[in-house]
């Protein structure tokens, strides 16, 4: 027999529904509210030189390619509030919007359903479920991104041979400013949100960082087309371990309020 008093005591209120960070289902929300923290995250970042024309083709207007370098981050998230342990990957390219320079994310794959939903609903990141993985195999770090049973990216670098500084990554482009295309429709299919969003991680603490030569291999997959950013020159890899907090960002450009010039 249903206890109606228990149900109505936990009934969703209008005040809760209109609160910042609200997520459904209301009694078991999927999306964390800001801020939430990642602790002891292990990251391998692979840098390779691609084609600037190829990069420009995947950028939404009015973004312009600012570099011919691609950065692919493969994360082992060991302790994340709300989401728990999982793996994530983020492929980024350098871009510029007016006087703002940052890193645009065309492809993200991760093993957490909550992470996928949060990325798409809040940031506008084009996240998909996949199976990234990062581990030490003997004297090498090996990172993979798998979707549909295909390793669309395989990267390697030597295990902790050369101490480094994460700030060196900024020499390629300002990857710490993450820019995304947020696209959400109304129920009738018409545009509800069309924005470029931007955010930086908060409270970044890097516990250790190592760098050295890397290898990057891409395999085609129509559902994970990282191959559209071909490897012309392998540059270097970084392995780093850090704590950071995901905080609110801002709208960089609102297409519905101010469409870009053709």
Active site residues per annotation: 127
Tokens in use for 32? 């964390």
- The torsion defined by the Cα of 94, 38, 209 and 211, in degrees rounded to 10, comes to -40
Tokens in use for 232? 């012309």
Residue with tokens 């905080």: 247
What count of Cα atoms within 13 Å lies in the side-chain half-sphere of residue 14?
0
* Cβ atoms 97, 253 nearer than 8 A: yes
Residue with tokens 């020499």: 171
Residues 6+ away with beta carbon under 8 Å from 126: 105, 106, 107, 108, 120, 180, 181
Instruction: Write the DSSP symbol of residue 163.
Output: B
Of 209, 207, 214, the closest CA to residue 160 belongs to 209
Instruction: Write the DSSP symbol of residue 122.
Output: I
Q: What is the pairing mode between strands 86-97 and 64-77?
A: antiparallel
ω into 62 cis (within 30 of 0): yes
- Please report the beta strands in 2-63, taking only residues with DSSP state E, as ranges in sequence order: 36-49
Tokens in use for 160? 């902790």
Instruction: Write the DSSP symbol of residue 28.
Output: S
């Amino acid at each position: 027999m249903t206890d109606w008093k228990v149900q109505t005591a936990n009934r969703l209120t209008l005040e809760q529904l209109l609160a910042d960070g609200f997520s459904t289902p209301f009694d078991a929300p999927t999306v964390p509210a800001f801020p939430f923290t990642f602790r002891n995250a292990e990251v391998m970042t692979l840098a390779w030189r691609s084609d600037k024309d190829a990069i420009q083709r995947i950028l939404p207007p009015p973004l312009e390619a600012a570099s011919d370098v691609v950065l692919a981050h493969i994360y082992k998230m060991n302790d994340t509030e709300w989401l728990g342990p999982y793996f994530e990957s983020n492929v980024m390219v350098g871009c510029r919007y007016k006087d703002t320079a940052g890193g645009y994310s065309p492809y993200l794959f991760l093993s957490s359903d909550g992470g996928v939903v949060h990325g798409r609903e809040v940031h506008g990141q084009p996240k998909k479920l996949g199976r990234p993985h990062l581990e030490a195999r003997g004297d090498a770090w090996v990172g993979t991104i798998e979707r549909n049973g295909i390793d669309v990216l395989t990267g390697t670098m030597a295990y902790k041979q050369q101490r480094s500084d994460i700030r060196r990554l900024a020499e390629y482009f300002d990857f710490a400013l993450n820019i995304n295309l947020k696209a959400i429709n109304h129920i009738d299919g018409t545009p509800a949100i069309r924005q470029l969003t931007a955010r930086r991680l908060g409270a970044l603490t890097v516990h250790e960082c190592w760098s050295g030569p890397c290898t990057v291999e891409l395999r085609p997959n129509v559902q994970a087309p990282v191959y559209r950013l071909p490897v012309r020159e392998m540059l270097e890899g970084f392995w780093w371990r850090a704590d950071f907090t995901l905080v609110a960002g801002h709208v960089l450009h609102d297409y519905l309020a101010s469409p870009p010039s053709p």
